[in-house]
Amino acid sequence: MASIPRQRDIIDRRVLEQQLAAVARSTQSSALDRGPFIAPLRASLTAGRDEIRRRFEATGDGAAVVREQSS
């Protein structure tokens, strides 16, 4: 299987980890309240999908889209 070029352009796990850690440090709610974590996760997912769409529109490579969406 081919590798995904510039994976961090799709989702930068280190940045996401830092964002989630900041939310965990700043939240005062119970351990069961996952609400504060939704916004950074959703933003990361949206940005990743936007990057994959941008790549597809530039290249038209559908196989790459499948590979990038599923990894």
71 residues of the chain, pLDDT tens digit each: 578 889 999 999 999 999 999 998 887 766 677 888 999 999 999 999 999 999 999 999 999 999 998 87
Instruction: Round the CA-based radius of gyration of the chain to a whole number and report it.
Output: 15
CA-to-CA distance for 41 and 45, rounded, in angstroms? 6
Its pTM stands at 0.80
**What is the SS3 assignment for 29?**
coil
28, part of any domain: no
Residue 62 lies in a domain: yes
Helix segments in the chain, DSSP class H: 7-10, 13-26, 35-59, 62-70
Q: How many domains does the chain have?
A: 1
Under DSSP, is residue 11 helix (H, G, I), strand (E, B) or coil? coil
4 domain residue, yes or no: no
Tell whether 23 is covered by a domain: no
Please give the C-alpha separations between residue 4 and each of 43, 52, 63, in angstroms, as whole numbers: 21, 11, 11
